Amino acid sequence: MPTPVIVDAVRTPQGKEDGALADVRSEDLSVPLVNQLLASTGIESDEVDDLLWGCAQQRGEQGNNMARVVALLSDLGEEVPASTINRWCASSAEALMRAADAVAAGQRDVLIAGGVESMSRVQMGENTHNVHPRLAEHYNVGELQMGMTAEKVADEHDVSRREQDEYALRSHERAADATGSGRFDDELVPVDTDDGRVEEDEGIRRDTTLEKLSGLPTVFKSDGTVTPGNASQVSDGAAGLLVTSRAYAEDNGLDVLAEIGSHEVAGVDPTVMGIGPVPAVRGLCERTGRETDDYDLVELNEAFASQCLYCQRELGFDDDIYNVNGGAIAIGHPLGASGARLPVTLVHEMNRRDADLGLATECVGFGQGAAIEFRLP
C-alpha cells in the first residue's frame, strides 16, 4: 500500500475579525499558499491530481465550489480539478484525510489539501436561525450555540473560570514565544493587502495577564465562566499541505516532513461538542493499537479553554507536549482552515524536536471530533 507523506506545509498569518486580513477574500488568502507549495517543491501543475480545500461557511464569496476558483486563480490552472470540503471545524482536516486516503488507495500521487475561512467577510452567525425545527424535539437549540456548549462542558466537568483563564494565558505566552523565537517562520506565507504586508498572527496578546483575563465579562451566561479571553478568536486565515506518495517523493528528490498515519472521526452530543476529540482519539488508538501516551506532540484545537482542559485531562496529555506553541485562543480559529493549521504547525515542530509521533485533533460544531496521526519518516 502506498504511504501518504507531506512534502511541504504552510499557512497564512491569522488575522483578527475585521482586522488586517478583513479586506482579503478567501480565494486570495488561499492562492498564495497553493503557489508557494508548488514553488517550494518544484512540482508542476500538470503533476497535481486534485485540490481539496476545506471551508465551513460555503455561501456568498465562499460559495461556488471555492476550491475550483482557487485552482483557476492559482498556478494550478484549468487542468487541475478541485473540490470544496465541509466538516465544519474539521473541514480542512477532512480534506487532508481524503488526500491521504486517495494516495494510500493508489488512486492519486500528488494532491494539495487545506482550507480557508474569512470570518470577517462571511460571518458565522448568519445561519443561527436556520436550524431545523425538529432538532428542538431532541435538543435545547439554545445549547447548540458554540459558547453555550463550552459552558456546559465547564459545568459538567468542573472546569473553573480560573483554570480556563490560566490556560488562555498560557496559550498567549506560548504563541508569543513561538513567534518571537521564529518557530513559526518555516510555516508562514505573508499576505499582501492594500494596507501593507501581514507577516505575523494578529491576535496574540503579548501584554495580557491573568488579572486582565479574569476581569473580562462572561458573554454566554450571566453566571458562566466562558469569556472572549478564554475562547478561540474569530479569525481570517488559510493553511495548506502538499501530499504525495512516498514513492513519488523519493523519485523526485523531495524532502518528507512527515508520513500521514491513520485517522478517525467520531460523533458526540452536539450540546457538548467540545468533547469530540476524546472519542476520536480513543478510536484512533483502538485502530492503531497505541496508547495516548505514545504521542510525543499533540495539537488539539483550542475552541474553548474549558474543552481543551477537559480533553487534556481525559486523554492524559502532559503540558509539555500539548499545544506547545499556543493555539486558537491566541492564534485564532478560522473555521475552515484550523483542521489544516494544526498539522502544519505540528509537523514542523515534530521535525524541530525530532518527535517521532504526533497527533492533531479537534472538536467540531454540532457534535463531532476528528483526529489524525503523523510520523516522522
Mean pLDDT, residues 349-355 taken together: 99
- The model's pLDDT over 287-344, given as tens digits with 9 standing for 90+, comes to 999 999 999 999 999 999 999 999 999 999 999 999 999 999 999 999 999 999 999 9
pLDDT of 140 reads 85
Reported as type and span, the H/E element at residue 369 is strand 368-375
Question: CA-to-CA distance for 140 and 62, rounded, in angstroms?
Answer: 29
Mean pLDDT, residues 82-94 taken together: 99
* Residue that is written with C-alpha cell 503540558 in the block: 319
Instruction: Assign 173 to helix, strand or coil.
Output: helix
Does the annotation mark 308 as catalytic?
no
Confidence of residue 126 (pLDDT cuts 50, 70, 90): low
Question: CA-to-CA distance for 116 and 96, rounded, in angstroms?
Answer: 13
pLDDT surpasses 80 at 143: yes
CB 62 within 8 A of CB 334: no
Mean pLDDT, residues 82-104 taken together: 99
To the nearest whole percent, how much of the chain has pLDDT over 90? 94
Task: Catalytic residue, from 172, 263, 333, 348: name it.
Answer: 333
To the nearest whole percent, how much of the chain has pLDDT over 70? 99
pLDDT surpasses 70 at 252: yes
pLDDT of 127 reads 60
Task: Catalytic residue, from 285, 308, 311, 363: name it.
Answer: 363
Residue 196 has which C-alpha cell? 501593507
Task: Catalytic residue, from 55, 89, 308, 311: name it.
Answer: 89
pLDDT of 137 reads 84
pLDDT of 125 reads 66
Question: CA-to-CA distance for 171 and 179, rounded, in angstroms?
Answer: 12
pLDDT surpasses 90 at 132: no
| DSSP calls for 57-87 | --SGGG-S-HHHHHHHHSTT-TTS-EEEE--
Mean pLDDT, residues 126-130 taken together: 63
Average pLDDT over the chain, rounded to an integer: 97
Reported as type and span, the H/E element at residue 299 is strand 297-300
CB 260 within 8 A of CB 6: yes
Pick the range with the lowest mean pLDDT from 127-131, 190-194, 327-331, 348-352.
127-131
Instruction: Assign 306 to helix, strand or coil.
Output: helix
Instruction: For residue 130, give the DSSP letter.
Output: G
- The model's pLDDT over 25-43, given as tens digits with 9 standing for 90+, comes to 999 999 999 999 999 999 9
Instruction: For residue 2, give the DSSP letter.
Output: P
CB 8 within 8 A of CB 37: yes
Does the annotation mark 333 as catalytic?
yes
